[in-house]
Chain A
Amino acid sequence: DAKTTQPTSMDCAEGRAANLPCNHSTISGNEYVYWYRQIHSQGPQYIIHGLKNNETNEMASLIITEDRKSSTLILPHATLRDTAVYYCIVRVSGGGADGLTFGKGTHLIIQP
């Protein structure tokens, strides 16, 4: 699986959009970009994933650059409950029994 690089931590004001970057310059053509988050003392939670098109769901939007070497997770209106560690993971299609390899992630702190 391709490696990812994320900032260690970020701050965002409550109510503003939180934009979390992820670099994955060695991503392969068949690898997806997944985002998970882990709120303190809880299990990781799936947010969104995509291959090359931008994706949006009720939690967030995922913007993938045209060359697929980086992506941005956008939380449109951050709340205090969005404070968590956010993991960007790239791997081949979700089929198969392989698990996900988690890096260090970005600790996002939402400020009141």
Chain B
Amino acid sequence: DTAVSQTPKYLVTQMGNDKSIKCEQNLGHDTMYWYKQDSKKFLKIMFSYNNKELIINETVPNRFSPKSPDKAHLNLHINSLELGDSAVYFCASKWRGGPGELFFGEGSRLTVL
């Protein structure tokens, strides 16, 4: 079983559309994250959720709205997609009180045309 799973793996869409990426972890972790990796391969944190509560929002445009229905899920909804949103989005999870080991999903490649 995949520990951190994301869907879809690939997403191609037009500018202006709204899309969602889903993430689920079956590790029993209480903290989940979204990271963005752009074309230059920089991996940057976007959001952090602990027990469904938003902890970190790294100056991400409000077109991005994470939603955590429960501890095991953290979905990312993006409104009015722009060309610059094209990237690979990674979900990750950990125990808040743990040693810091993050478990990452395989990524969702978003292409905005």
Contact = CB atoms under 8 A, between A and B. Distances in A.
A96 interface: yes
Nearest to A96: B96
Given A43-B92, A104-B42, A93 B100 contact: yes
Q: How many of chain A's residues touch chain B, expressed as a range?
A: 20 to 34
Nearest to B6: A43
Q: How many of chain B's residues touch chain A, expressed as a range?
A: 20 to 34
A46 B43 contact: no
B45 interface: yes
B56 A43 contact: no
B79 to A, nearest CB: 23
Interface string A72-92: 000000000000010100010
A100 B96 contact: no
A43 B4 contact: yes
A63 B103 CA distance: 23
A41 interface: yes
A95 B90 contact: no
Contacts of B31: 97
Contacts of A98: 48, 56
A97 B100 contact: no
Contacts of B35: 99
Interface string A98-112: 111110100000000
Interface stretch (B11-19, B68-76, B104-112): B104-112
Interface of A: 32, 34, 36, 38, 41-46, 49, 85, 87, 91, 93-102, 104
